[in-house]
Chain A
């Protein structure tokens, strides 16, 4: 069974940085594109960023462009999200997810890690 385990969440002040990690197991990580999503308290799901299987191509939502960076280390089966210049509106549960290959829908989700941005 696909396992995605996020870590790195916590409480941070506005303007500070945080790095999230997602450790993948039970599948061949390097063959799948991956994404980060988030869900603010009481709100719906929001796409944050995606990266292809090689790590060479990535895309970011306008709301985080220039502040967040998605990357991956295929040698360590790990997906990363570097979050800089944090804002209060970045407060959310952040989910790591796998993108299916043939038809690129999200097919597996992690359990999420909570990021709180507050002074």
Chain B
């Protein structure tokens, strides 16, 4: 079963960029992951999926400021031109035949 690892927190200034990382466990480097955003007090919301080649597919309505990429077992979510509403928890998710797994989440603070 895959394991996902995320840093617990990140911070960046308003208008700058930030790159969040989700690391897959060894032996799972070909897995696709999904990124979800959870704003304070709200339900999670799917942002995009990212595959091993770095190709990503966003949910309709997700701003162009959000992009995805990959390198080895790492999957990335990059947010450019940070806005105050981007302050949220970000979770990565993956799956196999019988289970679904989340990373511990990264709390993003916009300074």
Contacts and interface: CB of A to CB of B under 8 A. Distances in A.
Interface of A: 35, 37, 44-47, 50, 59, 61, 95, 103-112
A106 B32 contact: no
Nearest to A105: B34
A47 B94 CA distance: 11
Contacts of A108: 46
B102 A105 contact: no
Contacts of B85: none
B47 to A, nearest CB: 10
B98 A104 contact: no
A59 B99 CA distance: 7
Contact of A106 (B46, B89, B103, B105): B46
Contacts, number: 54
Interface of B: 32-34, 36, 38, 43-46, 49, 57, 59, 89, 91, 93, 95, 98-105
Contact of B102 (A46, A107, A111): A46
Given A103-B32, A104-B95, A105-B32, A44 B43 contact: no
Given A35-B100, A59-B98, A109 B49 contact: no
Given A95-B43, A105-B93, 17 more contacts: A37-B100, A44-B91, A44-B102, A44-B104, A45-B36, A45-B93, A45-B105, A47-B102, A59-B99, A103-B32, A105-B49, A106-B34, A106-B93, A108-B46, A110-B43, A111-B43, A112-B43
A73 B38 CA distance: 29
Contacts of A37: 100
A28 B100 CA distance: 23
Contacts of B57: 103
